[in-house]
Structure 1
Amino acid sequence: MRALRWPGALLSFVAISGLAGMLVAVAVTPAVAVAGEGTSGAVAFFEDLPSYLDIQAPQQVSSVYATQGGQQVKIASFYSENRTDVTSNAMADTLKQAAIDTEDPRFRQEGGIDVLGTIRGVAATVVGGDVQGGSSITQQYVKNVLVQQCEELTGKDAADTQKKIAACYQDAAGVTPQRKLQEMRYAIAVDKKYSKDQILTGYLNLVGLGGRVYGAEAGAEYYFGVHAKDLSLPQSATLVAILNNPSNLRIDQPNDKDNGQANGYALTKDRRDYVLQRMYVHHDISKAQLDQAKATPITPKITDTANGCSAAASTYDAGYFCDYVRNQVLQDPAFGKTAADRIETLDTKGLEIHTSLDLDLQAQAQSALSSYVPATMDGVDVGGTNVTVEPGTGRVLSMVQNTSYTQSDNGGAGATAINYNADTAYGNSGGFQTGSTYKVFTLAEWLASGHTLSESVNTTEHTFPQSEFTNSCVRLGGDPWKVANAESVPASMTVQAATSESINTAFGAMAKQLDLCKIKETAQAMGIHQADGSAPDSNPASVLGTNNLSPIDLAEAYAGFANGGIVCTPTVIDSVKEADGTSITPSPSSCTRGVSQEVAGTVDYALQGVLTGAGTAATANPGDSVPKFAKTGTTDGDVQNWLVTSTTKYTNATWIGNVQGNVGLANVPFPHGTTGYSAKFGVGRSMMTYLDQTLSGGALPAPDPAMIGSVAKAPSPSSSGDSTAGSAAGSASSGQGAGSTPSAPSTPAAPAAGGAGAGAGAAAGSGSGSGSTGGGASGGGSGKGGTTGPGSGSGK
């Protein structure tokens, strides 16, 4: 004879007898029992138990969407439990009837509890020691609701959380008469409050079906690749079979010797056939249907819902963008007070997140970048990125890099979780020295301080004592700063020409006439910060791009210039809804004025020359009619290489360089006959060609004639000049006066459009080695804990 779980057979008998009496009283006159009128003392005790059950929305899968061909496409899912809540109409009738016939045939007649089944189950549990069934569907639903509530508990730390959850589980599903009575009390109240259809639907949305799969919809999709409404009779019976014992009856383990593919999932088939037999006994299917369904083999079509960004990476090359979305959610108070709250919101609230990502543009960007920058190279830890930002909104339209996205610590060569496009907080990257792309902030401060593009500055190699510079932020000191150029240049040049050709010595001379602190503040006003979140340095060498910035941060700043001086912080989320349709308003992009419209327009005007004639990016010019501007950047030895281009509709930033280390790329061969220096032109030309055709762009903000001064007409970047043209240094002696805005003259036709490869290939042998500034190596700063050398000069 089995040992009793309670001490003493008499005590067990009395307890069970008392329980039976209460159950009979409740079952015969449930309204009276609940009201407590004319009840026995036992039923009065039952009445005192809590009856209100707070049924919250169950945990559900959050989905991330992007745009493709004008349609919204799901690219990623996040969840703790793989569940999608659906209505009764979205479930097959065969599934609902199978559940009733098998789990609770008296479901539609009873008052929330199956009295006889519960007495039988409790008696067997007490006497035998094993947990027995017998609960009604409503009781099972109550237990599942309580368990769901347990899973949402949090504590002061991980250990405390687990302790609370374990205690809650015991209260929700433990084997005690008290727990069973409370379950029954809730079930009666639930049955009075909700319709049978609502209870059955809630039950089928909550049930566990093995692993992290919960609910009819997720179960149907996971095991059979169909929606719950499209389940066949055998499939419906199989799901109901699995919910009886998910651990043992799941059908996603084909190699299981007891219940695998080799034996036709024998354990599950036995239970499935039992379910079918119950449906036949209760006259819900015919004998012919029974026989045909039993003869149908179990053939799973496992369709996993990837959790996280892996699906976005494998299907759409959007893993890094997806990861950026996740990080934006985790840092936005709109999704919860703490990081833990925000993770819970993302993983459990069934969010529908619509993003700014254009998948057609994303595919083009990945193709362009991968065509020129391989995932791995011998002898260099190579990295490459391309990001597109929309001026005026900060919306990130595309984000790619040369590596494969992975969250694994052992992702292999050419794979990483680090997002090189992003700041440390959004991608764990330390950023990269930007080279001459940073010169735009000196140019902006130059114009804001009353100088003009027509002024000539000394361009000879020069060693500047630190004492010659003004910096109202910090006291300067240290070794003199030696500045040289990548190529031989005249002794003096106009600022316009020096900008087009990215002359280091000219910008050193300009900075000497300005306050370095003001240059830094101009950069900050345009959204610039170092990738780790700290303020940019303001030493003399910083003028030539020694700060470690992220590509998205630089794109944000240049988009601000294209937007008339108003800079908008990057954002990747357009809208968010919870599962119940409630909107969550994410923190919007913050748009602020960084520089005046006059300064922005004149900067844009000056940067148009970069794409023409002797401009450093002339070979990237796609030769169309869309107004645009650009800036290149390299660090010493071409360790890091940049190209930023912009119209009024897009800003596109390309970085190619060393993730770690200081390998000079000037003469390192890259695809299409390019080098580490010139590959950016191929990527940039390809992107501008596509973006000009799809997004285009209007007239750039007008320059201020007074800020131009007596300078030559700026060449139009809408058609490229001869890339072999000589220096433009002497061209400033003629041109428009300060009283009128110069119009762009016609220029020679662009190089023949042989594709991005042709454009970049023309520059492959040009070797734009950057000038030394005596500041040390300019190694890449990306990667966990990555840092860079104390300051390098930059060239083109």
Structure 2
Amino acid sequence: MAEKRYGAASAKKTSGSKPRKSGGSGTPRKPAGRKRARTKSRPKRKGLFGLIQTLLIWIYKLIWRLTVRVSILAALVLGAAVLVEYASLPDYNQLLDGRAKGSVTLRDRNGEIFAWRGDQYGGAVTAQSVSPYLKNAVIATEDKRFYSHVGVSPRGIASAVRINLSEGRGPLSGHGGSTITQQTAKLLCLGVEYDASVWKNEAEYVADCRRSSLARKAKEAVFALAMEVKFTKDQILSIYLNRAYMGGGAYGAEAASQRYFAKPASDLTAPEAAILAGLLTAPSTLAPTANIERSQARAATVLRLMREQGYISVQEERTAQANPATLSDVAEARAGGYFADWVMASGPEFFTSKTTEDIDIRTTLDQRIQAAAEGAMKQVFSDKVKEGSKAQAAIVVMSSDGAVRAMVGGRKTNVSGLFNRATQAKRQTGSAFKPFVYATAMELGYSPLDTVVDEPLCLNIPGSGEWCPKNYTNEFYGRVTLVDALKQSLNIPAVKVSESVGRKLVQRVATDFGIDSELIDTPALALGASESTLLEMTGAYAGILNGGSSVSPYGLVELRRKGDPNPMMEATGGIGERVIREEAAHSLVYMMEKVLTEGSGRRAQLPDRPAAGKTGTTQAARDAWFIGFTADYVAGVWMGYDDNTPLRGVTGGGLPAEIWRETMIRVHEGLPVNQLPKLEPVPQRQQQAPAPEQTEPQRRENVLQQVLRDLLGGGN
């Protein structure tokens, strides 16, 4: 059957084959040629080239393995560091206000803001609540890839290093290549809070936070990555917008917007937003209150960047460039810099210069009067003082109750932090002191019509020898009334009156009127040889105007925490105790009016209303004064050199009187004319009514007064 099925040839072949070896599997063997092909290896290179190739492959594999392992290890370390920083980061809302100090807002008598001190913070804003122009301007200027990077931009760092090296600086000096996230990390001082036991002061703490080094940059990068993990991009940008310093004492966009433009940050226009964004690179030098032109030039660059990055159109850029932002009226005025400094210095430090809270202070300042005083000084110096002169001047204007309405502490106005000649300079008062001599006489019952002999006089001063005062004209006028002696500013009569009524009593009257400076105890007291400040002298004259009661000059009316309706502190100045009788004060006002109408102060006369005052010139004309008043305001003017150089051709009746006149004309513009509270003396021969019967104490007092009159050289 096999033959029939497979054929004879096949059957023979099968029957003639050799038996298989025992142990076979029955599986047919694979061809020998296939086995040889599988076991044949690739020929190897021999010689030196082959050895080098093998070595390079080995090194490559080793480096690759090390790189992978090091990268994994570095990633683990970095991740752990980021997690540690992440865990230490406070809540988002706690990071918005980063000031170590509080702010002080100063308001004038009408409640209008005129100055700021301390670290201003206008309140929390967010990336969504500020003007879109501001948000886009900050991103375009500071970090155009803010929304795409992970907190650190290697491309930005590399670019900054390249620029720094090309400009000859160190790789970390100059451009930092920092993202907004890294800048925010730096503003947060990498989470390190100020500790007075570690740093000498806050400035040292800030400097330490801002220093650059490789280690510091590494920590900054880790902190930035942690912030990117914990906060959203808009939250990071919001922290930055609230903490960034923008010049003028303003921290944060809201404070800066209010400071420069008197509007909320949500209402900023493109030019205004460009100015604020431009401040971030150099807030102090680019602040618009310091140099508006420089600030506008920087804003033009910001606008160009915004247009290049598609945030504004070409037309919007052109419109903004053609209409640059300008300061608000409040910021432009920068009124009362000297006054604000004085109020800050006169208040308690823990509520002013060292406050950790936001404080609101209402003051006595009248911005209209402040502008009048500043304008008057500028005009007189421009018209009457030689160009290049370094002579200085100061002005104080106040009400009769001591409420200071204006203060100019030097020729430079619209400034702060400078030497205030109105409150800090103690100078000899000269003849401006004489009204207190005659106030003492009026209080003792003397009349302006009583007389004294103006004649050569020499007194022996213990320890100094003989002292012979002289009049300014070097002439003697014989018997003169007290009113004539004052209006002509005669020296010898003033010394005689002072010595007769009692030097100690004159000192007491002057001190009670508010002159707190030490008064000398020599006959030269009557001629103003003692030193005082312009503020003290003006306050003392206010006491004469108000009828003889002392005043304490004051500028602070009310101090309160922001948002608190109850004041923590109220005015401590104002009218005090009576110094001399009202009749005596009114008699003195009569005498001082004659100074302007007939005497040494004629150049101070006002064209439309009565005024009274007194000139003052010290030895060698080192100081020149004019202090006077109308029925409404008291004003004092001092002029001189800071180094006590004598003035040339200047007396109190000259330029100081002209500055006073110009100031008071502007101050009283539009005000009704009021009469001075004066009391004209009545000569004895004109008295009609008989004198009332006197008591024994009155008779003794009259005898004493008659003796004093005899010492003065006689009487009416």
TM tier, shorter chain?
Answer: 0.5 to 0.7
Q: Cα 1:63–1:547, aligned 2, differ >3 Å: closer, same or farther? A: same
Task: Please give the secondary structure, in 2, of the residue aligned with 1:445.
Answer: helix
The CA deviation at 1:483 is 2.8
Q: How does 1:324-473 map to 2 (within 5 A)?
A: 324-336=339-351, 342-343=352-353, 345=355, 355-373=363-381, 376-377=385-386, 382-399=391-408, 403-405=411-413, 418-420=419-421, 422-424=422-424, 429-431=425-427, 433-449=428-444, 451=446, 453=448, 455-466=450-461
Equivalent-residue separation in structure 2 for 1:506 and 1:238 (angstroms): 65
Is 1:483 the counterpart of 2:483? The answer is: no
Question: Given residue 498 of structure 1, which amino acid in structure 2 is its aligned partner?
Answer: A
1:66-96, Cα deviation, whole Å (9 max, x unpaired): 58xx79464x55566x875464586225656
Is 1:610 the counterpart of 2:605? The answer is: no
The CA deviation at 1:527 is 1.5
Task: Please give the secondary structure, in 1, of the residue aligned with 2:501.
Answer: coil
Equivalent-residue separation in structure 2 for 1:200 and 1:164 (angstroms): 21
Is 1:16 the counterpart of 2:75? The answer is: yes
Question: Given residue 607 of structure 1, which amino acid in structure 2 is its aligned partner?
Answer: M
Equivalent-residue separation in structure 2 for 1:213 and 1:160 (angstroms): 17
Q: How does 1:460-539 map to 2 (within 5 A)?
A: 460-466=455-461, 476-486=462-472, 491-530=478-517, 535-539=518-522
Q: Cα 1:57–1:510, aligned 2, differ >3 Å: closer, same or farther? A: same
Is 1:631 the counterpart of 2:614? The answer is: yes
Equivalent-residue separation in structure 2 for 1:251 and 1:652 (angstroms): 37
Question: Given residue 521 of structure 1, which amino acid in structure 2 is its aligned partner?
Answer: R
Is 1:552 the counterpart of 2:535? The answer is: yes
Aligned position for 2:15: none
Question: Given residue 460 of structure 1, which amino acid in structure 2 is its aligned partner?
Answer: E
Normalised TM-score (structure 1)? 0.57
Equivalent-residue separation in structure 2 for 1:693 and 1:376 (angstroms): 25
Equivalent-residue separation in structure 2 for 1:738 and 1:143 (angstroms): 90
Q: Contact 1:406–1:417 (CA<8 Å) still a contact in 2?
A: no
1:507-562, Cα deviation, whole Å (9 max, x unpaired): 222222233233223212212144xxxx1222111111112333222111000121
Q: Contact 1:381–1:660 (CA<8 Å) still a contact in 2?
A: no
Q: Contact 1:502–1:616 (CA<8 Å) still a contact in 2?
A: yes
Equivalent-residue separation in structure 1 for 2:399 and 2:334 (angstroms): 20
Equivalent-residue separation in structure 1 for 2:192 and 2:578 (angstroms): 50
Aligned position for 2:636: 653
Q: How does 1:40-119 map to 2 (within 5 A)?
A: 49=88, 51=90, 54-55=94-95, 57-59=97-99, 72=112, 74=114, 84-85=122-123, 87=125, 91-93=130-132, 117=150
Equivalent-residue separation in structure 2 for 1:379 and 1:49 (angstroms): 60
Q: Contact 2:448–2:587 (CA<8 Å) still a contact in 1?
A: no
Q: Contact 2:429–2:618 (CA<8 Å) still a contact in 1?
A: yes
Equivalent-residue separation in structure 1 for 2:124 and 2:631 (angstroms): 44
Task: Please give the secondary structure, in 1, of the residue aligned with 2:219.
Answer: coil
Equivalent-residue separation in structure 1 for 2:269 and 2:468 (angstroms): 78
The CA deviation at 1:322 is 0.8
The CA deviation at 1:501 is 3.8
Alignment match of 2:626 (pick from 640, 643, 656): 643
Alignment match of 1:323 (pick from 327, 334, 338): 338
Equivalent-residue separation in structure 2 for 1:364 and 1:234 (angstroms): 32
Larger Rg: 2
Q: Contact 1:62–1:350 (CA<8 Å) still a contact in 2?
A: yes
Equivalent-residue separation in structure 2 for 1:663 and 1:168 (angstroms): 49
Q: How does 1:287-298 map to 2 (within 5 A)?
A: none
Q: Cα 1:297–1:700, aligned 2, differ >3 Å: closer, same or farther? A: closer
Is 1:205 the counterpart of 2:213? The answer is: no
Equivalent-residue separation in structure 2 for 1:49 and 1:367 (angstroms): 56
Aligned position for 2:51: none
1:282-319, Cα deviation, whole Å (9 max, x unpaired): xxxxxxx8x7699979959876989xxxx99x96595x
Equivalent-residue separation in structure 1 for 2:577 and 2:259 (angstroms): 50
Aligned position for 1:762: none
Task: Please give the secondary structure, in 1, of the residue aligned with 2:204.
Answer: helix
Equivalent-residue separation in structure 2 for 1:622 and 1:233 (angstroms): 50
* Runs of at least 5 residues in structure 2 that lack an aligned partner in the other structure: 1-59, 159-170, 289-295, 693-716
Equivalent-residue separation in structure 2 for 1:512 and 1:47 (angstroms): 81
Q: Contact 1:147–1:173 (CA<8 Å) still a contact in 2?
A: no
Aligned position for 1:162: 204
Question: Given residue 166 of structure 1, which amino acid in structure 2 is its aligned partner?
Answer: D
Aligned position for 2:20: none
Q: Contact 2:275–2:325 (CA<8 Å) still a contact in 1?
A: no
Equivalent-residue separation in structure 2 for 1:486 and 1:208 (angstroms): 57
Equivalent-residue separation in structure 2 for 1:223 and 1:496 (angstroms): 54
Q: Contact 2:241–2:253 (CA<8 Å) still a contact in 1?
A: yes
Question: Given residue 229 of structure 1, which amino acid in structure 2 is its aligned partner?
Answer: S
Q: Contact 1:559–1:651 (CA<8 Å) still a contact in 2?
A: yes
Equivalent-residue separation in structure 1 for 2:516 and 2:360 (angstroms): 32
The CA deviation at 1:397 is 2.8
Q: Cα 1:229–1:371, aligned 2, differ >3 Å: closer, same or farther? A: closer
Q: Contact 2:186–2:210 (CA<8 Å) still a contact in 1?
A: no
1:429-478, Cα deviation, whole Å (9 max, x unpaired): 342x3222211222233344565555443332211234xxxxxxxxx542
Equivalent-residue separation in structure 2 for 1:215 and 1:442 (angstroms): 56
1:233-285, Cα deviation, whole Å (9 max, x unpaired): 89979989x89x968xx9999xxxxxx999x959x967875575xxxxxxxxx
Aligned position for 1:38: none
Q: How does 1:93-242 map to 2 (within 5 A)?
A: 93=132, 117=150, 143=185, 146-147=188-189, 154=196, 158=200, 162=204, 166=208, 175=219, 179=223, 183=227, 187=230, 201-207=238-244, 215-217=252-254, 228-230=265-267
Task: Please give the secondary structure, in 2, of the residue aligned with 1:485.
Answer: coil
1:142-166, Cα deviation, whole Å (9 max, x unpaired): 8477339868665687589626862
The CA deviation at 1:365 is 3.4
Equivalent-residue separation in structure 2 for 1:660 and 1:210 (angstroms): 33
Q: Contact 1:621–1:685 (CA<8 Å) still a contact in 2?
A: yes
Aligned position for 1:593: 577
**RMSD (Å), alpha carbons:** 6.0
Equivalent-residue separation in structure 2 for 1:379 and 1:219 (angstroms): 36
Aligned position for 2:49: none
The CA deviation at 1:333 is 1.5
Q: Cα 1:140–1:577, aligned 2, differ >3 Å: closer, same or farther? A: farther
Q: Contact 2:514–2:539 (CA<8 Å) still a contact in 1?
A: yes
Q: Contact 1:143–1:173 (CA<8 Å) still a contact in 2?
A: no
Equivalent-residue separation in structure 2 for 1:455 and 1:223 (angstroms): 61
Q: Contact 1:501–1:610 (CA<8 Å) still a contact in 2?
A: no
Task: Please give the secondary structure, in 2, of the residue aligned with 1:423.
Answer: coil
Aligned position for 1:747: none
Equivalent-residue separation in structure 1 for 2:371 and 2:97 (angstroms): 37
The CA deviation at 1:493 is 3.7
Equivalent-residue separation in structure 1 for 2:597 and 2:286 (angstroms): 67
Equivalent-residue separation in structure 2 for 1:134 and 1:160 (angstroms): 24
Equivalent-residue separation in structure 1 for 2:607 and 2:227 (angstroms): 74
Equivalent-residue separation in structure 2 for 1:225 and 1:160 (angstroms): 29
1:71-125, Cα deviation, whole Å (9 max, x unpaired): 9464x55566x8754645862256568999987879xxxxxxxxx957999xx99
Task: Please give the secondary structure, in 2, of the residue aligned with 1:537.
Answer: coil
Equivalent-residue separation in structure 1 for 2:531 and 2:564 (angstroms): 42
